[in-house]
Structure 1
Amino acid sequence: MASNPIKLSLIFILTIFITSEAELGQLKETNMTLYFQDWSGGPNATVLQITGHQDHGPLSFAKFGSVFVTDDPITEAFDKNSPEIARAQGIYVTSALDGKISHVLISIIFTNEEHNGSTLEIQGASPQFERVREVAIVGGTGKFRLARGYATFETIHFDLAIHHVVIQCNITILHY
């Protein structure tokens, strides 16, 4: 008799899982490459330091406790004049005492026709001075509903004179 309630519970849970899968559709994998156009100075800066701000000189990326807010345009190609397809909006905090790790919280908000209004949510520890940094994709909305996966960031262009950095972001996600 004791096994009947357990069997019924398992059948009930399996039924819910199958019903949920049928409602959501088939799990898909999407891979894409995006380019964050990061401007850390000048009148049109897209990243600002919130704490530990210095009035003169470069931003303090390696100073423990520094907090930054960002609203970077994301383009479909390396060139800053290529079409904008999304915005990277969020915060990151230098969270390691030695300044080598940033904690990243970024929403990629798509503005292009194909994915307009859909989002991807990125979160994780990013070893900011490594050539390639990997963080988790922990969710998404719209065409990327229930997304999970990872993103890699690689700085591929750095022009200190005009405060411009291009970060290549490679994304692999599973979603419905």
Structure 2
Amino acid sequence: MAVNSIRLSLLMFLAMFITSEAELGQPKETKLTLYFQDYSGGPNATVVQITGQPDGLLSFTKFGAIFCTDDPITRGFDPSSAEIARAQGLYVTSALDGSNTHVLISIVFTSEEYKGSTLEIQGSSAQFERVREVAIVGGTGKFRLARGYLTFETIHYDATSYYAVIQCNVTVLH
């Protein structure tokens, strides 16, 4: 009797394990290209410095400077392109020489198939490099349990209007 009980318990345990593995399956890979519309000055600024801003100009290379962002993210390069998400979070200039920022950003999807989902971005960004790579450390909604990486590349900058377009290429497993 005890042997049959052990066998039945083992069989039930294996059935639960096999079912759980089958339900989880392999992670899905999603690739996206997004465009951050970044305004670091003027009346419609989407990036503001919250420490060490004595003269009103942003000090991206000053060690310890902290910035808060809420950039619109669009489907295309043009700022009038459809907004599909917001980039909300913080940047901290974390290298003594100002070369790196630590990025903590949530990409909050606001439209289409990913509405209500987020991707959580964290890592060191070498701000003087043409292409910067940062980790995707999590997500919610359709991106639950996300992991992956993304690259940032500033593809347009107008110093007179403090406006930049940052192309973001996302590769995420979820």
Scaled by the length of structure 1, what TM-score is found? 0.87
- What does residue range 59-98 of structure 1 map to in structure 2 within 5 Å? 59-98=58-97
After TM superposition, which residue ranges in structure 1, 4 or more long, deviate above 2 angstroms? 14-26
- What does residue range 3-152 of structure 1 map to in structure 2 within 5 Å? 18-56=18-56, 58-152=57-151
Q: Post-superposition shift, 1:43?
A: 1.0
Larger radius of gyration: 2
CA distance in 1, matches of 2:53, 2:17: 50
CA distance in 2, matches of 1:17, 1:122: 32
Report the number of matched residues.
165
Q: Post-superposition shift, 1:15?
A: 7.3
Letter in 2 for 1:154: E
The percent of aligned pairs where both chains have the same amino acid is: 75
Letter in 2 for 1:113: E
- The change in CA–CA distance for 1:163 and 1:16 in structure 2 (over 3 A counts) is farther
CA distance in 2, matches of 1:20, 1:108: 30
Q: Post-superposition shift, 1:25?
A: 4.4
Q: Secondary structure at the match of 2:160?
A: helix
- What does residue range 150-161 of structure 1 map to in structure 2 within 5 Å? 150-161=149-160
RMSD in angstroms over aligned alpha carbons? 2.1
Letter in 2 for 1:92: Y
Q: Secondary structure at the match of 1:156?
A: strand
CA distance in 1, matches of 2:20, 2:99: 42
Deviation by residue 1:114-161 (Cα, 9 ceiling, x = unmatched): 110000000000000100000000001111110000000000000011
Match of 2:5 in 1: none
CA distance in 1, matches of 2:18, 2:51: 48
Q: Post-superposition shift, 1:27?
A: 1.3
- What runs of 5+ residues in structure 2 fail to find an aligned partner? 1-12
- What runs of 5+ residues in structure 1 fail to find an aligned partner? 1-11
- The change in CA–CA distance for 1:166 and 1:26 in structure 2 (over 3 A counts) is same
CA distance in 2, matches of 1:16, 1:49: 52
Letter in 2 for 1:45: A
- The change in CA–CA distance for 1:15 and 1:157 in structure 2 (over 3 A counts) is farther
Q: Post-superposition shift, 1:72?
A: 0.2
- The change in CA–CA distance for 1:20 and 1:54 in structure 2 (over 3 A counts) is farther
